[in-house]
Amino acid sequence: MKARLSIILVTFLVILSSSSFAQFKKYTFGLKAAPHVGWMKPNLDNYEGNGAKLGFGWGFISEFGFSENHCLTSGFNVIFSGGNLKFPTSVDSIPAQGTMSRSYYLKSIEIPLTLKMRTNTIGSMRYYGQIGLGTSFRIGAKKADEFTYNSTTISAEKATYEKVSFLRESLIIGLGGEYTLDAGTTLSVGLALNNGFTDMLTDKNNLTAKKEKATANFVELNLAVLF
């Protein structure tokens, strides 16, 4: 009798587990668009950030669920970002010290990997938090300069700039909400901080001969559709 009860109990638990396992999607894919505000944070004396820059990103999302409320997210993003720096320097063609205001325009492909944690449904919404890492590969970089010396300002048009690191590593932290339509499609809106922690610059300052150091960061508004 005890053996039969044990078999029935085990069978019930297996069925319950299987039923619970079937309640969530193992794989979810989607598209995202993400306008953002970006800035450069210098890590060198006499360098300072010089305002924020608007940017944009788009990409594909893939989610791999391992419970109803937890999944790993990845995919790839194409990101148009940048920032502004201001610093003392000299220019080869001008025999005078001055101040450079430089704008950076960066284009990269990012491979994110984050852990996403969802709440149960609250009203008609589910809310989430996510944390993880992003690895970006530079596919393009440009700069635009304004050099000021002796009350004179010389501007240079946007031009290709190769002295930017090929690789960028970042910490990603996000919050948002999801609404699932009757057909199973999910609409997602969230905010994410993409905080770089590797130096983006490889050039040296003409005055001090010190290597330039700065990280690139942005806060993005994520708009996504998941299927």
| Residue 81 domain-assigned (yes or no) | yes
The pLDDT of residue 25 is 77
pTM of the complete model beyond 0.85: yes
The pLDDT of residue 1 is 52
Residues with Cβ within 8 Å of residue 214, at least 6 apart in sequence: 40, 41, 42, 43, 44, 47, 83, 85, 199, 200, 201
Choose among 55, 40, 180: nearest CA to 108: 55
Number of domains making up the chain: 1
With cut-offs at 50, 70 and 90, classify the pLDDT of residue 19.
Answer: very low
Token pair recorded at residue 102: 């430089």
* 221 has pLDDT over 60: yes
* 11 has pLDDT over 70: no
| Residue 165 domain-assigned (yes or no) | yes
Residue span of the structural domain in which 52 resides: 26-226
* 8 has pLDDT over 50: no
Read off the pLDDT of residues 52-101 as tens digits, 9 standing for 90 and up.
999 999 999 999 999 989 999 999 999 999 999 999 999 988 888 999 99
Read off the pLDDT of residues 172-197 as tens digits, 9 standing for 90 and up.
999 999 999 988 899 999 999 999 99
**How many of the other CB atoms lie within 10 Å of CB of 86?**
17
Dist CA 139 CA 155 (whole Å): 25
Read off the pLDDT of residues 130-171 as tens digits, 9 standing for 90 and up.
999 999 999 999 999 999 999 999 999 999 999 999 999 999
The pLDDT of residue 182 is 83
Read off the pLDDT of residues 29-57 as tens digits, 9 standing for 90 and up.
999 999 999 999 999 999 999 999 999 99
The domain that holds 68 is classified in CATH as 2.40.160.20
| Residue 140 domain-assigned (yes or no) | yes
| Residue 34 domain-assigned (yes or no) | yes
The pLDDT of residue 13 is 42
The pLDDT of residue 92 is 85
| Residue 5 domain-assigned (yes or no) | no
| Residue 117 domain-assigned (yes or no) | yes
Q: Which amino acid is at 207?
A: L
Dist CA 177 CA 20 (whole Å): 23
With cut-offs at 50, 70 and 90, classify the pLDDT of residue 24.
Answer: low
The better pLDDT of the pair 91, 24 is held by: 91
| Residue 122 domain-assigned (yes or no) | yes
Dist CA 79 CA 219 (whole Å): 12
| Residue 57 domain-assigned (yes or no) | yes
